[in-house]
């Protein structure tokens, strides 16, 4: 699908801008909108909507399957376009869980998003939804490469500080940024941290037959301490960036085709069994990618001493503790590492760590929506807000390691 913008589309945008100016809200930065009722006419919005961003996207299909019948060409082209539109809206609503409304001002290609202040994240989510719809439409209708088509998006206005056209950026956004194209082609940076070959050599250490108490601690190493950013650009350093005496990478690091290395942070869990005779057994485990892609076979690493910015501990029963270990063993044998939620199958280090804790009785929920369900950045912010959370940066707990 190309990115050519026809003059008719440009003229439509000019018309929209003119209408907006007449309503005194055209391209006005930081202008506050009414929070008492929304434009769709519903009574009360489900969440507090502090700002909004309006976008327009356009698409066109010229089906070439029936060149001898102009009426069929138009009818089929409209049918394909409607299918494409419904896929975009459905993916945004059910796949990315975004708070938005449409249509806007009578145009069925426009959407108004609420509380999204990160221009790059919004642009990434829109492009992913468009690509998803394009692929679904092509497969459903068996479209040919010769069929003429295009789509694009643009920001009409924002009261969230989001700039138009997918450019710019907002305070708190890392610079330089990782584009959608770079993210899709990024690969994990190989480091010298040994991967666990047999997870049961770690979990069986707890089966010592001794009476004990149990606890589990989830650790989060944020890309930027105290911030919700999902990545941080770093200087290439041979694949290893350290900030603790155990020479463990700061987080999981990816590299783009343009040579940008970015740290997405890391989340991991310590399992701790404190025996009544004064001895203890501890294992600190984290979930990692094992293949050179954003999505592929997962593996695990002994995260003893890995740097962390925030942690949270829960006391559990022996049964809950074993449920957590069973989930670790299951993930080791079955789960793929998937960094993003672009195809609704995200399972990164934070998703894994949360699932291990929840298997033992914790009740953590997803920390963000859109391109991700969970990131160390966003989850670390939520974790740090909980009563009893430890927000002092320190190395994670050193584990026992494998048992023979």
- The CA distance from 328 to 313, in Å, is 18
Residues of the chain with pLDDT under 50: 1-6, 21-47, 104-106, 146, 162-175, 236-249
Reading the block at residue 202, the tokens are 């770690």
Q: What is the pLDDT of residue 64?
A: 56
Number of H helices, E strands in the chain: 8, 16
Q: Supply the pTM of this predicted model.
A: 0.59
DSSP summary character for residue 281? E
Q: Quick: pLDDT tens for 178-200.
A: 766 677 778 888 776 789 999 99
**CA–centroid distance for 201 within its chain:** 32
Q: Which of 89, 67, 85 is CA-nearest to residue 147?
A: 67
Q: Quick: pLDDT tens for 121-161.
A: 666 677 677 777 777 777 777 665 545 555 556 666 666 65
- The CA distance from 210 to 280, in Å, is 10
Q: What is the pLDDT of residue 379?
A: 95
Phi, psi of 20 (to 5 degrees): -65, -40
Pairing of strands 187-188, 100-101: unpaired
**Residue indicated by tokens 């399957």:** 65
Q: What is the pLDDT of residue 23?
A: 46
Residue 215: burial class (beta carbons within 10 Å; 0-12, 13-18, 19+): middle
Residue 116 · residue 163 · CB < 8 Å: no
Residue 340 · residue 318 · CB < 8 Å: no
Q: What is the pLDDT of residue 267?
A: 97
The DSSP element (H or E) to which 90 belongs, if any, is: helix 70-90
The β-bridge partners of 330 are none
């Amino acid at each position: 699908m190309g990115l050519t913008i026809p003059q008719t589309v440009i003229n439509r945008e000019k018309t929209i801008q003119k209408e907006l100016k007449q309503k005194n809200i055209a391209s006005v930065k930081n202008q506050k909108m009414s929070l008492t009722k929304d434009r769709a006419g519903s009574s009360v919005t489900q969440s507090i909507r502090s700002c909004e961003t309006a976008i327009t996207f356009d698409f066109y299909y010229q089906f070439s399957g029936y060149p001898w019948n102009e009426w069929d060409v138009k009818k089929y082209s409209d049918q394909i376009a409607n299918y494409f539109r419904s896929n975009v809206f459905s993916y945004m609503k059910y796949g990315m869980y975004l708070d938005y409304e449409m249509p806007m001002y009578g145009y069925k290609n426009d959407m108004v998003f609420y509380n999204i202040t990160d221009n790059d994240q919004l642009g990434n989510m829109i492009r992913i939804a468009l690509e998803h719809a394009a692929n679904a439409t092509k497969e459903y209708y068996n479209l040919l490469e010769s069929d003429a088509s295009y789509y694009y998006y643009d920001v009409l206005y924002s009261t969230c500080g989001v700039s138009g056209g997918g450019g710019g950026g907002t305070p708190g956004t890392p610079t330089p940024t990782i584009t959608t194209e770079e993210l899709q082609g990024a690969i994990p940076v190989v480091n010298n941290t040994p991967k666990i070959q047999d997870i049961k050599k770690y979990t069986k250490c707890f089966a010592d037959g001794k009476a004990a108490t149990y606890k589990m601690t989830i650790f989060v190493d944020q890309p930027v301490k105290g911030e919700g950013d999902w990545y941080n650009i770093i200087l290439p350093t041979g694949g290893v960036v350290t900030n603790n005496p155990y020479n463990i990478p700061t987080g999981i690091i990816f590299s783009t085709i343009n040579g940008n290395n970015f740290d997405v942070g890391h989340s991991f869990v310590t399992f701790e069994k404190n025996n009544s005779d004064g001895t203890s057994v501890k294992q600190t485990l984290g979930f990692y990618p094992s293949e050179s892609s954003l999505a592929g076979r997962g593996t695990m690493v002994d995260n003893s001493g890995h740097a962390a910015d925030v942690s949270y501990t829960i006391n559990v029963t022996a049964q809950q503790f074993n449920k957590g270990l069973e989930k670790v063993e299951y993930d080791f044998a079955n789960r793929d590492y998937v960094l993003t939620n672009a195809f609704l199958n995200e399972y990164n280090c934070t998703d894994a760590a949360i699932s291990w804790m929840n298997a033992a009785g914790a009740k953590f929920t997803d920390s963000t929506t859109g391109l991700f369900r969970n990131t160390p950045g966003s989850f670390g912010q939520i974790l740090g807000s909980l009563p009893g959370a430890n927000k002092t940066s320190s190395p994670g707990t050193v584990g026992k390691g494998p048992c023979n």
